[in-house]
Structure 1
Amino acid sequence: MIKRMIGPILMGVIGIAILLWLGTWQVKRLAWKEGILAEITAEIKADPVPVPTMISTDMKYLPVTATGTIGQEELHVLVSRLDIGAGYRVIAPFELDDGRRVLLDRGFIKPEAKDVFRAGGPATITGNLHWPDDMNSATPDPDMSENIWFGRDIAAMATVLDTAEVLIVARADTGEGIEAMPVGIEGIKNDHLGYAITWFSLALVWLGMTLFLLWRIKTRTV
């Protein structure tokens, strides 16, 4: 009987050890990811600085403040918000006092406000530089006739609105009926806790299966 149990015991110990190692690795990855997210959060909430003269994509999340004029043109990006439902992000051109034109994410409007006139004009904006990860191979092309976009395609939007490929996401409301949707870490995946629970649960299941198999071997040899 003991010889018949050696194989299942070895497989059980090895399987449980591997699953526990994977779970522990995911716990370490969770701590690493939480550290990264804490750094990003601190960067997002830091004191704003004037918009740099030279801007590059490694300035993602940089808090900035800028004075200029919000243009009347708008692009509407279809989004969905928890507990609110569908609506649109309003993307408008923003001409800085130094003459540069950038994109401005003014915030969220409800569907019924899509075609409502929104005032632009002089404004001081506090927000964050951002290059969002909205686009992938499955994202549909914008419906130009209805002015509905399905992601913030910075390059395409800059071409349409004649701006630099730079986006400022406003931290505060920029007009009546527009609710700011500031940059945050909500869209950054952090699934490591779920993975850790999965591996530890599988280790528990493996232990149960191993004990059951050993019990079956024992009862058959009695």
Structure 2
Amino acid sequence: MLATLIAVIGIGGFSWLGVWQVQRLHWKLDLIERVEARIHAAPVPAPGPEAWAEIASGAGTQAEYTRVTLAGRYLHDEEVLIYTPSDYGPAFWVLTPLLRGDGTVVLVNRGVVPEAEARTGEFLRPQGEVRLTGLLRLSEDHRWLFARRNAPEAGTWYRRDVGSITEAKGLARAAPYFVDVERVGDAWPRGGRTVVRFRNAHLSYALTWFALAAVVATGYVLVLRLELRRG
């Protein structure tokens, strides 16, 4: 009786986990397909204030990685350097607020700059009206387990946390997202560094759970055969 109960729980539980991972696999494949379509689609105007509440509420995942266009004037005095490892060694993202014609502000990730150039400030700072195209990205509000903390009071940043940056800089009417600009030329900073990669191990997880269900079933059959022989 106990062996049967354990077998039912084990087979049922592991099988349910396997089915769940198959469902997650289909969800992840659909997500990858939708994101691939977004990053290669024709750009659309960056969302204005009327869409900010929805994006900030968590529904922004439906807009993330959308190609967008925007125009305005860079506020270089308010730029923020955010540390990041890169192909060029230690480097920094250059996030610069862009003041748009309607008075709203959007943080723009202008690209990566190697540490030496970042420390000396030897990189381009376009003046006047600019027009750009890039990918809409959601704020990195949450810190990874071992990630270093942002220190706004010291001007030290490790995450592209839009809310913290705009608050530290006193920027009103700021969008809750930032934009990764596309690469144009080889000057620093260099855009087009967005990593669009989604870990997809759901198939291996599903096979593992189904295998465990099979192991439990096989063990139960062996127990039954042993009991029959004893009987």
| Length-normalised TM-score, structure 1 | 0.73
- TM-fit CA distance, 1:31: 0.4
Residue ranges of structure 1 left out of the alignment (5+ in a row):
1-5
Per-residue displacement from partner, 1:53-82 (whole Å, max 9, x unpaired)?
43412563342212333333331222335x
User: Quick one: distance in 1 between partners of 2:75 and 2:48?
Assistant: 21
User: Quick one: distance in 1 between partners of 2:93 and 2:214?
Assistant: 46
Confirm or deny that 1:130 pairs with 2:137.
Answer: yes
Q: What SS is found at the alignment partner of 1:120? A: coil
2:11 matched to which residue of 1?
16
Which of 206, 209, 215 does residue 196 from structure 1 map onto?
206
Residue ranges of structure 2 left out of the alignment (5+ in a row):
none
1:206 matched to which residue of 2?
216
| AA aligned opposite 2:151 | P
User: Quick one: distance in 2 between partners of 1:100 and 1:13?
Assistant: 60
- Name whichever of 118-127 and 155-164 sits farther off: 155-164
User: Quick one: distance in 1 between partners of 2:3 and 2:168?
Assistant: 66
1:140 matched to which residue of 2?
149
User: Quick one: distance in 1 between partners of 2:153 and 2:186?
Assistant: 24
Counting only pairs closer than 5 Å after superposition, residues 65-76 of structure 1 correspond to structure 2 as 65-73=69-77, 74-76=79-81
Computing the radius of gyration from Cα coordinates, the structure with the larger value is 1
2:183 matched to which residue of 1?
172
Confirm or deny that 1:153 pairs with 2:153.
Answer: no
Preserved CA contact (<8 Å) 1:106 1:174: no
User: Quick one: distance in 1 between partners of 2:223 and 2:89?
Assistant: 51
- TM-fit CA distance, 1:105: 0.8
2:100 matched to which residue of 1?
96
User: Quick one: distance in 2 between partners of 1:110 and 1:201?
Assistant: 48
Preserved CA contact (<8 Å) 1:76 1:88: yes
- TM-fit CA distance, 1:150: 2.0
Per-residue displacement from partner, 1:91-128 (whole Å, max 9, x unpaired)?
11223355543211112233333213222124321013
User: Quick one: distance in 2 between partners of 1:112 and 1:79?
Assistant: 13
Q: Are residues 212 and 94 of structure 1, via their aligned partners in 2, closer, same or farther at CA, if it must alter by over 3 Å? A: same
Q: What SS is found at the alignment partner of 1:115? A: helix
Per-residue displacement from partner, 1:134-158 (whole Å, max 9, x unpaired)?
424966232643x321211212211
- TM-fit CA distance, 1:48: 1.1
User: Quick one: distance in 2 between partners of 1:175 and 1:97?
Assistant: 29
Per-residue displacement from partner, 1:190-220 (whole Å, max 9, x unpaired)?
553343133123224324544554576578x
| AA aligned opposite 1:168 | V
